[in-house]
Structure 1
Amino acid sequence: MTQLNFTINSDKFLEEVLQSDLNTATKGIITALLNQVMEAERDSYIQASAYERTGNRQDYRNGYYERDYTIKAGTITLRVPRTRSGEFSTDIFQKYQRMDQALVMSMVEMVINGVSTRKVTNIVEELIGDSVSKSYVSKAVEKIEPEIQSFCGRSLTHATFEYLFLDAMYIKVNENHHSVQKAVYIAQGVREDGFREIIGFMVADVESTKTWTEFLQNLKARGLTTPKMVISDGHQGIKAAVKTEFMGTKWQRCVVHFLRNIISKMPRKNSKQERDTLKRIFKATTKQHAIEYRDTFFELVKDNAKYDAAVKTLDEGFFDAIQYTSEPHIAQKYLRSTNSVERINREIRRRERVISFFPNVRSAERLIGAVLLDIHERLQAAPYKLYDKDNTNE
């Protein structure tokens, strides 16, 4: 009988399979392949294949145990490998389910706290393949909360972060039987080597100078040094907090938000030339060019009172919006806006929509922390940088 041998990229395979629809992939195939992945994990841990004699062996095989495992469209039964020491564990049951666990826990808490609907209950049971209970929540929390707390409180002394992206989004939380808005603060740092990290988040009642200051102070207490530049939207609370906590740091106002603000004050009709001239300002790669393009815009609209408000807004925020021109050309296009951190917000929002509103702040912190931890790990594993100083072709 011919023996078929094949190799797979286990991380990529797991990512695709665990998100797959069982209508297009049979349970038997998925079960067999997942069993093979776990077998390879055990071989790697032991540092020896089956029946292989080697001086590098770290442990010995000790059979299997069965475990049901639920993915998006059903439950499968896997043969989980064991070792004699009992110290081996597979990554499958943790690495690829953290976000789903957090999402399910938030939804379960809605059920338990009496603020759910039949639809929510059905979704929960579909996700975990069983009815829900308080004991389920307790066990899940015991596994995931320490990991999230460790991530959120980790030291930041391992690297120098040159650039800091800050942004806030709003979520709804149940508080005293009322749905109230809470602000979620998120910080993404860019290291000297160009790689990004999620370095902090916080849920607060409001977005203000006081809370932004507290957020930055927490990052500093964990070891964050003064960055070269902070990039954010035009919220005055951020600007004031940065000025207080990071003396000498440049503040870059997000060009996308700033342009949107200026254009909202311009006539909608017959203004294409003016809009194009305005946008040209923030494509400049030097401060002098930006000033020249700004003056060209001023000259173009100087006799039209309909542009007075736009001119005033541009004039007041101009220098805050061109701070990026002082940085290396290779990094400028990434430092002009908060796009990098807003993509993170969209990841959170995609899961938050499923819940509609959180049953409490702790539930919000748990789900958001799990999403951010997953994004952080992907950023660390990614083969690309936000920008590459060594790439002379750009």
Structure 2
Amino acid sequence: MTQLHFNLNMDKLKDEIMNSNMNAIYKSTAVLILNEYMEKERDEFLDVPPYARTGSSRDYRNGYYEREYLMSIGKVKLRVPRTRSGEFSPSIFEKYQRCDQAFVLALLEMVVNGVSTRKVRNVVEELCGESVSKSFVSSLTEKLDPIVNKWANRNLANTYYPYIFVDAMYIKVREHRKVVSKAVYIATAISEDNQREVLGLKVDHTESYEAWKSFLKELKGRGLHSPRLMISDAHKGLKKAIQEEFLGTSWQRCTVHFKRNIVDQLPKKGMSEVITGLKRIFKAVTPDDARNFKEEFVTRYEEDPKLNQALKTLEEGFDDAIQYLNEEEKYHTFIRSTNSLERLNEEVRRRERVIRIFPNTQSAFRLIGAVLMDYEGQQKNKKRFIRNKS
């Protein structure tokens, strides 16, 4: 390992201290040390002291070249020694590569956490004393591509997920010089050891049967096994795709969306007692209790013509909305609705609002994928959200 024994240029360092700010002092000190370090490395590589003449030298000194280098304290200009053959390479750049990576990762974390491009540019300028363009920030975020792609295509065959949640949200994307709306499909799950995981995502043109079928096929292609229960809203195309792609899987209609659909068909006034009776149905612990509560509710209000449409909706969607009652009671709160996925969508939306319009589909996939990876990492660091009963 190279040992440093050298004299600093104290006059130059003193001048920097007296006439510059601290950032300039840090930079000038780093430059002096690093330049001297590289000089010593070249001496060791040649195994010949400066100005010495010997026939056994493996190479010859060949002056210097200047190179700008970005460190955590900002950008510095180094005087890099070289040899005639070009075989010598200072280890400085390898050793300080971790510093560069930490700097880039910090900027990427800012982007993932919803910091605007403008603010990121301001931070870079403050740290480095250099103004940067939007393209510079974009080039940094592109470093996420291989990471997100690897995660989004990982194998799912080694874990069984009994409960899977699927939903879609809409974002704005620039495409062919126009701003268009695109659907983001997201699938999450509860594993057998009670961990929440994000299974995957897809950005497509619109929410349709064909798009949902394609998304589910991709999950199956990655090894996803048919779950016991799939939880979603009542999108007809999604329901049809689930029935075709996951034979034997029960479909659970989100009870929150279902109750909201029923309430929307009630008169606006004087319905508090009716709504209380409706909620009672979905507080049942067993399918038989839920059916009994439902029959009582229908018998009580079936003569009221104002409630006909609401009762019809209840009857048509009831069986799909109580599938969760066939599972263990400890899971009921977690699998009767898509609330957990809705909260995740809101987290994505919070960071997406900063961008407002994605420049292209890949940038949308990149950022949303990074947000989902971050969420999944947080979940894995938490204790299992359902404690197994002994």
Looking at structure 2, the residues matched to 104 and 341 of structure 1 have their Cα atoms a distance apart, in angstroms, of: 19
Distance 1:350 1:187, change over 3 A: same
Pairwise CA distance, 1:138: 5.8
Number of the residue aligned with 1:67: 72
Looking at structure 2, the residues matched to 265 and 145 of structure 1 have their Cα atoms a distance apart, in angstroms, of: 46
Is the CA contact 2:121–2:133 (under 8 Å) kept in the aligned structure 1?
no
1:182 and 2:192 aligned: no
Pairwise CA distance, 1:251: 0.4
Q: Pick from 121, 126, 132 the counterpart of residue 125 of structure 1.
A: 121
Number of the residue aligned with 1:328: 328
What per-residue deviation string (whole Å, max 9, x for no partner) do you get for residues 210-268 of structure 1?
Answer: 11010010001111111111001111111111100000001000000000000000112
Is the CA contact 1:124–1:132 (under 8 Å) kept in the aligned structure 2?
no
- Sequence identity percentage: 41
What per-residue deviation string (whole Å, max 9, x for no partner) do you get for residues 96-153 of structure 1?
Answer: 6544235789x65xxxxxxxxxxxx4x3433443533366246414521111111111
Distance 1:94 1:124, change over 3 A: closer
Pairwise CA distance, 1:270: 1.1
Distance 1:88 1:175, change over 3 A: closer
1:101 and 2:106 aligned: no
What per-residue deviation string (whole Å, max 9, x for no partner) do you get for residues 247-299 of structure 1?
Answer: 00010000000000000001121111111001111111110011011111101
Distance 1:369 1:305, change over 3 A: same
Q: What is the one-letter code of the residue matched to 2:360?
A: N
Distance 1:99 1:250, change over 3 A: farther
Distance 1:97 1:327, change over 3 A: farther
Number of the residue aligned with 2:161: 161
Distance 1:240 1:360, change over 3 A: same
Tell me the secondary structure at the aligned position of residue 283 of structure 2. Answer: coil
TM-score (norm 2): 0.71
1:309 and 2:305 aligned: no
Number of the residue aligned with 1:221: 221
What per-residue deviation string (whole Å, max 9, x for no partner) do you get for residues 167-196 of structure 1?
Answer: 100111112222211000000011101101
What per-residue deviation string (whole Å, max 9, x for no partner) do you get for residues 23-77 of structure 1?
Answer: xxxx99xxxxxxxxxxxxxxxxxxxxxxxxxxxxxxxxxxxx95148xxxxxxxx
Mean CA deviation greater in 268-277 or 88-97: 88-97
Number of the residue aligned with 2:257: 257
Q: What value does the CA root-mean-square deviation take over the aligned residues?
A: 2.8
Which structure 1 segments of 5+ residues have no match? 1-26, 29-64, 70-81, 109-120
Tell me the secondary structure at the aligned position of residue 353 of structure 1. Answer: helix
Q: What is the one-letter code of the residue matched to 2:283?
A: K
Q: What is the one-letter code of the residue matched to 1:322?
A: I
Is the CA contact 1:104–1:127 (under 8 Å) kept in the aligned structure 2?
no
Pairwise CA distance, 1:359: 1.4
Number of the residue aligned with 1:43: none
Is the CA contact 2:168–2:185 (under 8 Å) kept in the aligned structure 1?
yes
Looking at structure 2, the residues matched to 316 and 99 of structure 1 have their Cα atoms a distance apart, in angstroms, of: 47
Which is higher, the Rg of structure 1 or of structure 2? 2
Tell me the secondary structure at the aligned position of residue 156 of structure 1. Answer: coil
Q: What is the one-letter code of the residue matched to 1:320?
A: D
Is the CA contact 1:99–1:371 (under 8 Å) kept in the aligned structure 2?
no
Is the CA contact 2:250–2:323 (under 8 Å) kept in the aligned structure 1?
yes
Looking at structure 2, the residues matched to 207 and 265 of structure 1 have their Cα atoms a distance apart, in angstroms, of: 25
Looking at structure 2, the residues matched to 140 and 266 of structure 1 have their Cα atoms a distance apart, in angstroms, of: 52
Looking at structure 2, the residues matched to 141 and 344 of structure 1 have their Cα atoms a distance apart, in angstroms, of: 22
Looking at structure 1, the residues matched to 365 and 353 of structure 2 have their Cα atoms a distance apart, in angstroms, of: 15
Give runs of aligned pairs for residues 3-82 of structure 1, distance below 5 A.
66-68=71-73
TM-score (norm 1): 0.71
Number of the residue aligned with 2:345: 345
Number of the residue aligned with 1:319: 319
Is the CA contact 1:228–1:249 (under 8 Å) kept in the aligned structure 2?
yes
The runs of at least 4 aligned residues of structure 1 exceeding 4 Å deviation read: 82-97, 102-105
Distance 1:101 1:282, change over 3 A: same
Is the CA contact 2:213–2:245 (under 8 Å) kept in the aligned structure 1?
yes
Is the CA contact 1:99–1:374 (under 8 Å) kept in the aligned structure 2?
no
Which structure 2 segments of 5+ residues have no match? 1-21, 24-69, 75-90
Distance 1:146 1:292, change over 3 A: same
Pairwise CA distance, 1:383: 1.6
Distance 1:289 1:98, change over 3 A: farther
Pairwise CA distance, 1:86: 5.0
Is the CA contact 1:102–1:366 (under 8 Å) kept in the aligned structure 2?
no
Q: What is the one-letter code of the residue matched to 2:310?
A: A
Distance 1:178 1:127, change over 3 A: farther
* Number of residue pairs the alignment of both structures matches: 302
Is the CA contact 1:161–1:227 (under 8 Å) kept in the aligned structure 2?
yes
Distance 1:92 1:86, change over 3 A: closer
What per-residue deviation string (whole Å, max 9, x for no partner) do you get for residues 320-351 of structure 1?
Answer: 00000000000011111101111110111001
Number of the residue aligned with 2:145: 145
Number of the residue aligned with 2:16: none
Looking at structure 1, the residues matched to 194 and 106 of structure 2 have their Cα atoms a distance apart, in angstroms, of: 26
Give runs of aligned pairs for residues 232-381 of structure 1, distance below 5 A.
232-381=232-381
Is the CA contact 2:72–2:103 (under 8 Å) kept in the aligned structure 1?
no
